[in-house]
Amino acid sequence: MKTLDYAGLRAEIKSGKAGGGYLFCGEESYLLHASLAALKKAVFGDSGNDAFNYLKLDAASERGVDLADAITQLPVFADRRLVDLRGLDIQHMRSDALDELCGALALLADNPQTVLVICATPYEFDVSGLPKKPSKLFTRLSELIVPVVFSRETPAALAKWASAHFAHEGVSCDPAVVRALIDRVGCDMYALSGEIAKLSAYAKASGGGTVTAGDVTSMCAASAEIGAYDFSNAVQNGDFSRAFYILSELKKRRTEPVPVLADILRCYARMETVSALAEDGMSAADIAKKLKMHEFPVRCCLTAAGRLGQDKLIRALALCSDADRKLKFTSIDGYVIIYRLLASLAAL
């Protein structure tokens, strides 16, 4: 079973051997997006883009996705093309849908002109248990494409990375100050990269060229870590103050609005499904088995659904569907649509 991390993928790209299919998964979205950019350059050259041969697909689209067709298409005036697939909820697929996915992925072996990247959120593909205890799903997919797991970096690795970024910006920062920055801001690399840019600009503007501990304290806001499921949990629990805060952080990190809206929609759809099964007389354990979920999140869904009631759940799903249509078919900024949606959900 071949599995790569960020360093392994970077080495594969530098060697010129990158190709086939990849499943990008894990919690560190900064490294995921950086790796996607590097892979695009490997396929398209320094421009990192090709309007004819870069195909971005949204599995949650109302029009659906024909992955087999996307894989077998030939490039236009080029040697290779890149297919970037988002919104594919692999973790909760029915067995027939999973079989169809694997059938499409098997086509990659005979279509070397296509490089496929499936970018999955932690909700869409859970990597817990790796590397010692890979799930059956992980094992099956790894026979067809290469999983690339972007785990959170250790504080020591982050300190080395942050020091290199400060040096690249042309300023100096003592290792103790770097550690203080990580302690204050947290281990999220998007948050750290923004603070490093801000501190570096200030150090150069002030003429000293050195970032101090006082700069970190006065200029960097202490930030609580945001876990993989914190946003959907906040929405499900009706904690919209927390949901609005996380949404603002996601926007700062340049997270695309489509998967954010998909998280909200899945949250309410899951509550409605669990609630309907419970009304049919199924226990939490039976529901968990049917939906291939753990029993604890099923019980949490039942509690949240009971708090809202069936009428509000139906209304919430209608609001989500309306927001989804606006996101796909209007020119309104995606985050404006989601902010308005959260406000409407909070008012239910």
Domains of the chain: 6-149 (3.40.50.300), 155-219 (1.10.8), 230-346 (1.20.272.10)
Predicted pLDDT at 60: 73
- Confidence label for 131 from pLDDT (cuts 50, 70 and 90): low
- Confidence label for 259 from pLDDT (cuts 50, 70 and 90): confident
Predicted pLDDT at 224: 60
pLDDT tens digits, residue range 59-105? 877 667 899 999 999 999 999 999 999 989 898 888 999 999 999 99
More confident residue, 62 or 222: 222
Contacts with 254 (C-beta within 8 Å, 6 or more apart), sequence order: 33, 190
Q: Is 43:115 a contact under the CB 8 Å cutoff?
A: yes
pLDDT tens digits, residue range 270-298? 999 999 999 999 999 999 999 888 888 89
Nearest to 182 by CA among 223, 151, 218, 227: 223
- The arithmetic mean of pLDDT across residues 168-172, rounded, is 95
- Confidence label for 6 from pLDDT (cuts 50, 70 and 90): very high
| DSSP class per residue in 232-267 | HHHHHTT-HHHHHHHHHHHHHTT--HHHHHHHHHHH
Predicted pLDDT at 195: 93
Predicted pLDDT at 248: 86
For residues 83-118, one letter each, b for 16 or more C-beta atoms within 10 angstroms of the residue's C-beta and e for the rest, the string is bbbbbbbbbbbeeeeeeebeebbebbeebeebbbbb
Q: Collapse the DSSP code of 114 into the 3-class scheme (helix H, G, I; strand E, B; otherwise coil) and give the result.
A: strand
- The arithmetic mean of pLDDT across residues 208-227, rounded, is 84
Mean pLDDT (the chain, rounded): 90
- The arithmetic mean of pLDDT across residues 317-334, rounded, is 92
Query: Which residue blocks in the chain are alpha helix, DSSP H?
Result: 6-14, 29-44, 67-72, 95-105, 136-142, 155-169, 175-185, 189-205, 213-219, 230-236, 240-252, 257-279, 284-291, 295-308, 310-329, 334-346
Predicted pLDDT at 153: 87
Q: Decide: residue 168, CB within 10 A, 0-12 exposed, 13-18 middle, 19+ buried.
A: exposed
pLDDT(225) > 70:
no
- Confidence label for 228 from pLDDT (cuts 50, 70 and 90): low
More confident residue, 254 or 305: 305
Could you say which DSSP state residue 4 is in? Answer: B
